[in-house]
């Protein structure tokens, strides 16, 4: 058994612990921390289950599955938070996920990979297509904020309508991206896919029913733990002296994306930088093209005022992250210093969000 699996098994113990903390009322802070830890192995197993099922159902349907459930943990946490009315935390977690993938995940991958290997190279073809799609998506989800900032007396309803329109365009673009990567230009992605399979999936034919069951059970438990995480969030974070903005931008995305983080760093240390960057950039792209638009539409369905009007400083932070990530990844080479630069950028932004005065509340 690998060290990774061992850690996951231990973390699984936090499921009963978090339930006990919740029902025996050990305090919101304990619930918050244990629920957060319990989500980590569940998210990892959801990922494995999705990939095993993808192998059985074939590349087309499997690709669709992967594309839809790739950020499932995050989507579930966000939906639970949205339903509880924590609109600002949900918005912050969207920008936080983008920043986290581009700076923290890519930075750790380049740093730890670079400490083992003097210089690492990656083929920028797939990364470029993803990067362009991501640039577009990131810009699109920030446009309502830009509109709000650059005009006076714009109505909330206008921002809401514009956000829904943007969301629909982005979901269409996402569908076209899938068509591109799975049908018309799938050959561009073949190398990466083979690596994923070698890396992650056993060579026996997986059992469809077994893994569907695992996926279902894990999803239910993630939903349950997310419920406890979100319920305890307000009290726990204020006990820790953290603002809603900091919690949404830094804490929630780390919990929601931990599994991808682990994958990206692990493969980077094995000198598979293509795959590692693909995970980081692909995940950012999925957040911006799929998760964020789904949340806007879900907010409309749930009657929550969920739009794409972020804090102006979130806009600055995302723009900065995209610029630095593009600047560092565009030459197809990486080393430990470039990883450090990304992590330094993440640290500085983290400090900024820590110092940023609370303007609005959690909801």
Q: Are 295 and 94 in contact (CB under 8 A)?
A: yes
The single residue among 218, 311, 318, 362 that binds its own copies, judged by CB under 8 A, is: 311
Measured distance between the N- and C-terminal CA atoms of the chain, rounded to whole angstroms = 43
E strand intervals along the chain: 120-121, 333-334
Task: Output the DSSP codes for 32-50.
Answer: HHHHHHHHHHHHHHHHHHH
CA distance 213 to 62: 16
Assess 140 for contact with its own copies (CB under 8 A). yes
Tokens 């509109």, located at residue: 147
CB of 259 to its own copies, least distance (A): 28
Assess 208 for contact with its own copies (CB under 8 A). no
Assess 348 for contact with its own copies (CB under 8 A). yes
The single residue among 29, 139, 201, 217 that binds its own copies, judged by CB under 8 A, is: 139
Assess 341 for contact with its own copies (CB under 8 A). yes
Assess 238 for contact with its own copies (CB under 8 A). no
Q: Are 103 and 321 in contact (CB under 8 A)?
A: yes
The single residue among 5, 347, 360, 361 that binds its own copies, judged by CB under 8 A, is: 347
Assess 161 for contact with its own copies (CB under 8 A). yes
The single residue among 143, 193, 235, 269 that binds its own copies, judged by CB under 8 A, is: 143
The single residue among 202, 331, 360, 361 that binds its own copies, judged by CB under 8 A, is: 331
| Residue (of 3, 9, 41, 35) closest to 20 by Cα position | 35
| Residue (of 205, 277, 223, 210) closest to 43 by Cα position | 223
What are 296's two structure tokens?
């806007």
Assess 102 for contact with its own copies (CB under 8 A). no
CA distance 257 to 51: 16
Q: Which is nearer to its own copies, 18 or 309 (CB)?
A: 309
What are 363's two structure tokens?
């909801």
List the x/- string, 165-194, binding to its own copies by CB under 8 A: xx--xx-xx--xx--x---xx---------
Q: Are 234 and 62 in contact (CB under 8 A)?
A: no
Only segment of 60-68, 259-267, 276-284, 321-329 that touches its own copies (CB under 8 A) = 321-329
HEC letters along 138-176? HHHHHHHHHHHHCCCCCCHHHHHHHHHHHHHHHHHHHHH
Only segment of 8-16, 148-156, 256-264, 267-275 that touches its own copies (CB under 8 A) = 148-156
Assess 324 for contact with its own copies (CB under 8 A). yes
List of residues contacting its own copies (CB under 8 A): 118-119, 124, 128-129, 131-133, 135-136, 139-140, 143-144, 146-147, 149-155, 158, 161-162, 165-166, 169-170, 172-173, 176-177, 180, 184-185, 311-313, 315-316, 320, 323-324, 326-328, 331, 335-338, 340-341, 344-345, 347-349, 351-352, 355-357, 359
């Amino acid at each position: 058994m690998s060290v990774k699996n061992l850690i996951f098994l231990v973390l699984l113990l936090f499921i009963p612990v978090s339930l006990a903390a919740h029902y025996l009322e050990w305090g919101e802070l304990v619930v918050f921390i244990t629920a957060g830890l319990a989500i980590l192995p569940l998210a990892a197993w959801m990922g494995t289950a999705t990939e095993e099922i993808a192998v059985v159902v074939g590349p087309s349907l499997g690709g669709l599955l992967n594309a839809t459930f790739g950020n499932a943990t995050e989507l579930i946490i966000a939906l639970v938070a949205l339903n509880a009315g924590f609109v600002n935390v949900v918005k912050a977690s969207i920008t936080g996920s983008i920043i986290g993938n581009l700076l923290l995940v890519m930075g750790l991958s380049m740093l730890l990979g670079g400490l083992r290997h003097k210089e690492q190279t990656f083929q920028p073809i797939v990364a470029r297509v993803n990067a362009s799609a991501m640039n577009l998506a990131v810009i699109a989800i920030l446009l309502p904020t830009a509109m709000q900032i650059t005009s006076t007396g714009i109505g909330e309803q206008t921002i809401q309508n514009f956000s829904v329109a943007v969301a629909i365009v982005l979901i269409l673009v996402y569908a076209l991206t899938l068509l591109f990567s799975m049908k018309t230009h799938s050959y561009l992605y073949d190398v990466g896919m083979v690596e994923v399979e070698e890396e992650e999936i056993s060579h026996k034919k997986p059992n469809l029913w077994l893994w569907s069951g695992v996926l279902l059970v894990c999803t239910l438990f993630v939903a349950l733990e997310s419920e406890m995480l979100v319920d305890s969030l307000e009290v726990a974070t204020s006990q820790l002296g953290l603002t809603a903005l900091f919690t949404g931008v830094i804490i929630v995305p780390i919990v929601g994306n931990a599994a991808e983080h682990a994958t990206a760093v692990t493969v980077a240390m094995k000198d598979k930088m293509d795959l590692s960057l693909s995970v980081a950039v692909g995940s950012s792209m999925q957040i911006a093209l799929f998760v964020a638009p789904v949340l806007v539409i879900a907010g409309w369905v749930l009657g929550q005022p969920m739009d794409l009007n972020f804090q102006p400083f979130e806009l600055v932070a995302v723009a900065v992250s995209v610029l630095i990530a593009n600047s560092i990844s565009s030459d197809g080479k990486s080393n430990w210093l470039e990883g450090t630069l990304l992590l330094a950028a993440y640290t500085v932004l983290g400090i900024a969000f820590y110092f940023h005065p609370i303007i609005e509340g959690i909801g």
